[in-house]
């Protein structure tokens, strides 16, 4: 089950203010995964950056995990043509640079939180007009 809603929060480390945060629980509800587009909206066929926060589901404390992000188009059977550059800004705080959704349609954006050998995924759906 994926739970998603929007929360408002700005971070002084990221210039531009960004869009509202979107949130979902990871698959086993170990983490909250929050993300937002740094520039406000996802541009069609242009690179963009995503800020990510991963916190403990029960306590809300930043989680000391590794993070990766990807996007795919389930109906088309393909994903992005690029691999984003992930930067860790602090515990549970990341910046994915160079995301690119190159065509209109339904995209599945997945964010993985990895702690040792355990990985949990949060999934978000986005319809590119």
Burial of residue 129, with CB atoms counted within 10 A of its CB: 0-12 exposed, 13-18 middle, 19 or more buried: exposed
pTM of the model: 0.85
Do the beta carbons of residue 65 and residue 31 sit within 8 Å? Answer: yes
Question: DSSP secondary-structure letter at 65?
Answer: -
Task: Give the integer Cα–Cα distance in Å for 24 and 127.
Answer: 17
Go through the domains of the chain in sequence order and give each one's CATH number.
5-128 (2.60.40.1930)
Task: Give the integer Cα–Cα distance in Å for 16 and 51.
Answer: 12
Q: What is the structure's pLDDT at 10?
A: 44
pLDDT digits (tens, 9 = 90+) for 74-111: 999 999 999 999 999 999 999 999 999 999 999 999 99
């Amino acid at each position: 089950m994926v739970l998603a809603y929007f929360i408002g929060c700005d971070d002084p480390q990221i210039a531009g203010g960004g869009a509202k945060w979107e949130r979902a629980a990871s698959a086993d509800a170990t983490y909250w995964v929050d993300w937002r587009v740094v520039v406000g909206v996802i541009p069609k066929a242009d690179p963009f950056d995503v800020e990510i926060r991963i916190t403990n589901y029960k306590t809300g404390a930043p989680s000391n995990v590794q993070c990766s992000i990807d996007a795919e188009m389930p109906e088309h059977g393909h994903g992005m043509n690029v691999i984003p550059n992930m930067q860790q800004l602090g515990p549970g705080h990341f910046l994915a640079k160079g995301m690119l959704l190159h065509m209109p349609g339904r995209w599945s954006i997945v964010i993985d939180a990895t702690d040792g050998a355990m990985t949990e995924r949060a999934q978000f759906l986005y319809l590119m007009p």
